[in-house]
Chains A and B, each alone.
Chain A
Amino acid sequence: MGITVMGFMNKIGYLFKEGFRSIAIHGFMSFASVTIIIACLVIMGSFSLLAVNIDAVIDKLESENEMLAFVDETYTQNQAMALEGELTAVPNVSKVKFITREEAMSEFAKDYENNSLFNEIEASVFRDRYVIYLDDISLMADTKVQLEQVKGIADVSAQLDISKGFVTTRNIVGAVSLVLIVILFVVSVFIMSNTVKLTTFGRREEIAIMKMVGATNSFIRTPFIIEGLTLGVIGSGLALALEWGIYTLITDKIMTSIAGSYVSVLSFNTLALPLALVYMGVGIVVGAFGGTIAIRNYLKV
C-alpha cells in the first residue's frame, strides 16, 4: 500500500492529533511537565532580570565616570575652545564639555566654601579643561594616552582604578549570570526529559507495538515531540505571565522604598519582548529535546 498525498496529509493530521490527545490523556504528567517548565523558567528568568538590572546600573555609573583633559596654560580661552573638534574625534570619546578656568574655580569654591584655606584662591591657578565622556569605559587607559597626544592638552586625569573596578564587576556579574543560566538550562532539560521519561515509561509497551507493526522512528517520535513542544509553549507563556507579576511586585516595592532613591530599575515593558522570545525559545528547545531524549531508548527495538 503506497503512501498517497491524502494518506500523507491524514498521517500528519493524525500525528498532531495524537500529540494533543496524549496531553489530555496523561493529564497529571502534562501538568507536572508544565509546572516544572514554569519553575525552571521563572528561576532562570528572575536571575537574568537581576543580572540585566545590575548591568544597567553599572552602565549608568560608567556613563557618569568622566575624564578631565587640562589645556596647556599658554593657550588662550579661544585656542582652548578650538580643541573641541580634535578631542571629539579621538576614538571612544562619546562627548566633550568645555569648562573655563573661572567655572572650574567657582565649582572648586563651592566644594570647599567652609575651608578658609581656599578663600582667596584665584582663577589663574586653574586651567581651562574638558570633561570627556567615553563610549567604552574599559578602554579608558588607551583613550587617556590618545588624549594626551592631542597638541594643546597638557595633562589628562582619569580614575583608572574606578573604571577597572566597573569592568571587573561587570565581567564577574556577566560570567556568574552566564554560568548560572547555563546550569539552570541544563537542569531544566534534564528535569523535563525525566518527566517525559516517566510518561514514556508507562507507554513503552505502546511504543513496542508501534515498532512491531512497522512504524518508523519518526512516526513514533513525532507525537512525543508535538506533546513536548506544546507543553513547552504553554509552560513558557505561563512563566512569562508569572514573571511579569513577580517582577512588577518587586520593582514597585523597590521604587516606593528608600532604595528607590539610589537605584533605578528597568520597566518590565522594555524587557517583555526579549524575555518572551527567550522563554519561548527555551520552552520549545526544552520541550522538544525532552521529548526526543526520553523516547530514545525505547526506539532501539
Chain B
Amino acid sequence: MAGGSRNHNGKDTTPVDQTNTDLHFISDITTKPHSFKQNPNRKPPPRRYKPVKQLISDEVKFLQTKNLAVDTPTYVSIVSPPSLRPSKNYCDITGLEGPYKNPANMLRFHNVEIYQEVIKNMPSGVDQEYLELRGANVILK
C-alpha cells in the first residue's frame, strides 16, 4: 500500500502526458521490486517455454514411467470418450438439417436452394473453410 501511495504522489506532480504517465505508473505496480519477493537464492527459471502440445506429450511420457491404477485420473485419461450415439447431419452453411451431400466436396446442405445459390458458386477454398468447422477438411502436408 505504501508503494502505491508514493506513486500516486509522483503522478500528481507530473501531469505532463496523461496517458503516458498513466501507463508508466500502472506498469510500475507490476515491475517494481516487490517487498514480498526478495529471495537472493532463487535460481533464474529456464527461458524455454514449451507449447501445450509438447507439455501434454511430456506428461504422457511421465505417466508411462509410473505404475498407475487403471482409473487414476490424469490430464489425458479424463478426456470424454467418442460418442456412441448416432450423430445427426447438419447443413454446413445454415446449420439446419442437412440430408444431402455434394459428392464433389462433401459439403452437406439443407435443400436445393442452398446447393444452387451457395455451393455451386462457391469460390475455391471456401468449401474447405466450411468443412474445417466440423474438422472434415483435407489437410495437405
A, B: real partners = no
Chain B residues with a Cβ under 8 A of chain A:
none
Chain A residues with a Cβ under 8 A of chain B:
none
